[in-house]
Structure 1
Amino acid sequence: MEGDLQRLVGVNLRRHRERLSISQEAFAEVVGVHRTYLGALERGERNLSLRSLERLAQVLGCDPVALLLAEGPEH
């Protein structure tokens, strides 16, 4: 469905960020984006480029593909 991948990336982004016990605001600062933009990404409301996906994954310390894959019962 349209937007499903966008929402999945958002869920995964939040999950990985929370595993690091870092706030949305602190993570946004490290990545170099505004907190409201990061929040919109996590809610699946905003598109992001592959370059941005790579940057987020790098900061999270995960493979970019991990942000694209469904995991667990919430998917």
Structure 2
Amino acid sequence: MDIVKVFGNNLKKYRTSMGLSQEAFADKCGMHRTYISAIECYRRSISLENIQRIADALGIKTYKLFMEEDTDAKNN
């Protein structure tokens, strides 16, 4: 498991499910749009504080950002 990719994919999935652009989401959690973009493109590792800020802005429990999708379940 590549934790940076899992986190980036989950962030994008939850953010887009809320109908938020990177810019709107960045404003919501007090970060810059390019920082959110870098996370979603797997170019950035982030601090625990920022992970919590992102989870809070998404309204989800932090651990959900680290859950790898079960590809076998998707194929059945």
Larger Rg: 2
Number of equivalent positions: 72
Backbone CA RMSD of aligned residues: 1.5
Gaps in structure 2 of 5+ consecutive residues: none
SS in 2 for 1:67: helix
Query: Which residue matches 1:19?
Result: 17
Percent of aligned positions with the same letter in both sequences?
A: 39
SS in 2 for 1:22: coil
Q: Which has the higher helix share?
A: 2
Give the TM-score normalised by the residue count of structure 2.
Answer: 0.86
- Residue identity matched to 1:31: C
Query: Once superposed, which parts of structure 1, at least 4 consecutive aligned residues long, lie more than 6 Å away?
Result: none
Gaps in structure 1 of 5+ consecutive residues: none
CA distance in 2, matches of 1:27, 1:38: 8
Give the TM-score normalised by the residue count of structure 1.
Answer: 0.88
